[in-house]
Chain A
Amino acid sequence: MSARVLVGVKRVIDYAVKIRVKPDRTGVVTDGVKHSMNPFCEIAVEEAVKLKEKKLVKEVVAVSCGPQQVQETIRTALAMGADRGIHVEVSGKDYETLGPLQVSKILAALAKKEQADLIILGKQAIDDDCNQTGQMTAALLDWPQGTFASEVNIEADKLKVVREIDGGLETIKINLPAVVTADLRLNTPRYATLPNIMKAKKKKIANVKPADLGVDVSSRLEVLKVDEPPQRQAGVKVETVHDLVGKLKEAGRI
């Protein structure tokens, strides 16, 4: 198969870090904080590399949008087995307001430019939990989508996707080209081995600007403030059920 897969990878604050809100309440502290690839994006890269190993696709291209530092994230994807990378340069204020709508426009433009047959993304990012980019990208391209995928198989020129839904598992068959978003149980991402990390240095990362793709990254959203979740208040102990009912009525809960 001559298929080319585009995999989106996002650089986010590492899952193990304790998040702190900035004193001016405009966002969270990112300076000097450990960042890594979004865990769902790791699963997406792993799936793409697996497809390549099964010889069902020919080339895996890793894409990330952001400032210079996202190149580390692309390199991780290359070390996991992606063939080349594309760094879409977005920095400063534009990066702070970059969201699913802008990224999906960028991915749609890249998919056309690179003639991709499949886009695999993580289902959501652990920093904003939007769960929108995959769906928006498919809509912009008018491609079918298989979201929350826990299993992906290529059968002839169709894609069989098992999706994790509230009621259980749903199996759908969609035409290619398509967009798939990876859920937790799709696979277990591999470690980048040391030899692969060294080989990844020789792989190419192309630089592109949103303007080159004809994409306007300005946002229609404005973040008013960011707060920590309210502190958990201590509970109140009551002696009898009668008291409990009374207190609940007082609090207007019943």
Chain B
Amino acid sequence: MIFNKVLRAGVQAGRRFQSTGPQAGVRAAIAASREAHGGFSFELTDQQKEFQEVARKFAREEIVPAAPSYDRSGEYPFPLIKRAWELGLMNGHIPEDCGGMGLGIFDACLITEELAFGCTGVQTAIEANSLGQMPVIIAGNDAQKKKYLGRMTEEPLMCAYCVTEPGAGSDVAGIKTRAVKKGDEYVVNGQKMWITNGGKANWYFLLARTDPDPKCPASKAFTGFIVEADTPGVQPGRKELNMGQRSSDTRGITFEDVKIPKENVLIGEGAGFKIAMGAFDKTRPPVAAGATGLAQRALEEATKYALERKTFGKFIAEHQAVSFLLAEMAMKVELARMAYQRAAWEVDQGRRNTYYASIAKAFAGDIANQCAADAVQIFGGNGFNSEYPVEKLMRDAKIYQIYEGTAQIQRLIISREHLGKFKQ
């Protein structure tokens, strides 16, 4: 009886989890309810709130004003990235013994959502660092971690995750880049494509095929390498001109007889596929968080506009057609946020979160596109115009249904996980 009342009080107060915090009596109820069912709570810790504050302030004061010109010029937002690095908003996952803060995925997601609110192009450039680092964090030996993660905390360097090829995106097992062992080195030849930070990275995580036998299973045929970007034979292509997130640097990279020392193999020959896939469980929640940040921006811009613009004698927000659009955008943003938070929390608890991570990424990518399009709709003619901020959101949102696992691949994963539970 009392248990239920305490639970309900806890959940009700918890609904305002991003506010200044509930009153003392309710706080006790939350603490009690947390005790009662082992930790599930919507409350952020003081430290998480402070981190979120810093990220929010930086995004709104420094990224938002600069984003439109970076979008127009396509210039790499290095000044913003350097600032983010100085504030500690980047490279959060790097373990403390390598000079990092060893943040969990949840904390990283909170920061990512705030930065994405500012500009997802800037945020993707920053996020690509996490993606490139993740294989080293989960599979690197001490020497590799100290060398390649350590340098990221000493100066604002970028890294990249090199897996996709012109002929193989979703079908990772279909990649053709070859790595042949010659003495103490591997010689790599192949073509990678759509590599974020391709032209700016100091080093890459590279996935290449080491077993030429086509019958060899994916779980044994590929190897993960760390490649220094200045290795002879590494040739980044031109910066690709994309629909959105235009300040992010995306390129093709050609590997021509690139020699990689065997010390740069992660775990060992044949372990690459599992490492590459394992990284996704930790990087999909932040990507979902980024999409949520974009959707939140769409919602806020549309709401502000709807409270200023008048038609037929009243603010457009007072017309139900518009207020219902805003309501649905709000529903989607709140749910996407909860989805990525659950996925991030699961992996931080040490559990396999593939199911939740895919749900979060699929949902957030879809709603980001819907919310951006709805925001343009609410702005009407102005929304279509580049003087207003929402058309950029629509262009930026599309990639969230494509990279880090397409919307279709996510559905494959979710159905497989879901059916797998039933078959047990």
Contacts and interface: CB of A to CB of B under 8 A. Distances in A.
B87 A191 contact: yes
Interface stretch (A28-36, A100-108, A122-130, A227-235): A28-36
B20 A79 contact: no
A79 B54 CA distance: 11
A251 interface: no
Interface residues of A, number: 18
Contacts, number: 41
Interface residues of B, number: 18
A193 B16 contact: no
B273 interface: no
Contact of A194 (B16, B20, B54): B54
A34 B111 CA distance: 19
Contacts of B87: 191, 193-194
B20 A35 contact: yes
Contacts of B19: 32, 34
A216 interface: no
Given A31-B23, A32-B19, A192 B50 contact: yes
Interface in B39-57: 46-47, 50-51, 54, 57
A188 B215 CA distance: 63
A184 B220 CA distance: 63
Interface stretch (A57-65, A156-164, A195-203): A195-203
Which of B20, B23, B46, B58 has its CB near the most chain A CB atoms (within 10 A)? B20
Contacts of A75: 46, 50
A87 to B, nearest CB: 15
A72 interface: yes
Interface in B103-118: 111
Contacts of B50: 75-76, 79, 192, 197
Nearest to A33: B20
Nearest to B107: A194
A34 B20 contact: yes
Interface string A41-72: 00000000000000000000000000000001
B101 interface: yes
Nearest to B83: A191
Given A194-B87, A195-B101, A201 B47 contact: yes
B261 interface: no
Given A32-B19, A35-B20, A72-B46, A194 B92 contact: yes
A184 B19 CA distance: 28
A197 B58 contact: no
Interface in B45-92: 46-47, 50-51, 54, 57-58, 86-89, 92
A191 to B, nearest CB: 5
A34 B49 CA distance: 12
Nearest to A192: B54
A35 B21 CA distance: 11
A193 B46 contact: no
A35 B53 CA distance: 12
A193 B86 CA distance: 7
A195 B88 contact: yes
A194 B88 contact: yes
A198 B20 contact: no
Interface centre among A72, A191, A197, A201 (most CB of B within 10 A): A191
Contacts of B46: 72, 75
Contacts of B101: 194-195, 198
A194 B89 contact: yes
Interface string A76-112: 1001000000000000000000000000000000000
A203 to B, nearest CB: 13
Interface string A139-165: 000000000000000000000000000
28 contacts: A31-B23, A32-B16, A34-B19, A34-B20, A35-B20, A72-B46, A75-B50, A79-B50, A191-B54, A191-B57, A191-B58, A191-B87, A193-B54, A193-B86, A193-B87, A194-B54, A194-B87, A194-B88, A194-B89, A194-B101, A194-B111, A195-B101, A196-B88, A197-B47, A197-B51, A197-B54, A198-B47, A201-B47
Which 10 A-B pairs have CB atoms at the shortest separation, nearest pair first?
A194-B88, A193-B88, A195-B88, A193-B87, A197-B50, A191-B87, A34-B20, A191-B54, A194-B51, A192-B54
Given A32-B19, A191-B54, A194-B88, 20 more contacts: A32-B16, A33-B20, A34-B19, A34-B20, A72-B46, A75-B50, A76-B50, A191-B58, A191-B87, A193-B86, A193-B88, A194-B54, A194-B87, A195-B88, A196-B88, A197-B50, A197-B54, A198-B47, A198-B101, A201-B47
